[in-house]
Amino acid sequence: AQTVTQSQPEMSVQEAETVTLSCTYDTSENNYYLFWYKQPPSRQMILVIRQEAYKQQNATENRFSVNFQKAAKSFSLKISDSQLGDTAMYFCAFPYGGSQGNLIFGKGTKLSVKP
C-alpha cells in the first residue's frame, strides 16, 4: 500500500528562524510529483510547493524549499526566516495510481511560529 507519513504532529519555531518539516512516503512508482499544502486557521488549503520526482534539483518557492531524497523516499519542507503568517497545518501529499490517480495526504504537522 502507498502511504505518506508525517512523524511530527506539532512543531514550534521562533520568528525569523528556520524549521524543517519531515515527510516520508512509500511507492513503487518511478515518475510522480510530491506536494506540500498549508492550511492556516482560515481552513483554506493552499499549495506551498511541488517537486517532480524525475528532477534532481530541489524545488524552491521564496522562503520555502524542499529536500527531496528519492532513494530514501523522503520529502522534507524547509521554511526559512519564519513569519507569524506561517502558523498553520502543513500536509505532505502524494498521488497514488500515477498521473491519473488521487492525492493521499499525511496526517499533518501543526506549526506554530512564536514572536
Partner 1 sequence: NAGVTQTPKFQVLKTGQSMTLQCAQDMNHEYMSWYRQDPGMGLRLIHYSVGAGITDQGEVPNGYNVSRSTTEDFPLRLLSAAPSQTSVYFCASRDRGYSPLHFGNGTRLTVT
Upper half-sphere CA count for residue 10 (Cβ side, 13 Å):
2
**Which lies closer to partner 1 via its Cβ, residue 38 or residue 113?**
38
Beta pairing class for 64-69 and 74-79: antiparallel
Min CB(22)–partner 1 separation in Å: 15
Per-residue cell: 98: 500515477
> Which of 76, 82, 95, 111 is the binder for partner 1 (CB under 8 A)?
95
* Residue 45 lies near partner 1 (rule: CB under 8 A): yes
Binding mask 49-88 for partner 1 (x = CB under 8 A): -x-x------------------------------------
The number of residues in the chain equals 115
Residue type, 43: R
Residues of this chain that bind partner 1 (CB under 8 A): 9, 32-33, 35, 43-45, 47, 50, 52, 91, 93, 95, 99-100, 102-108
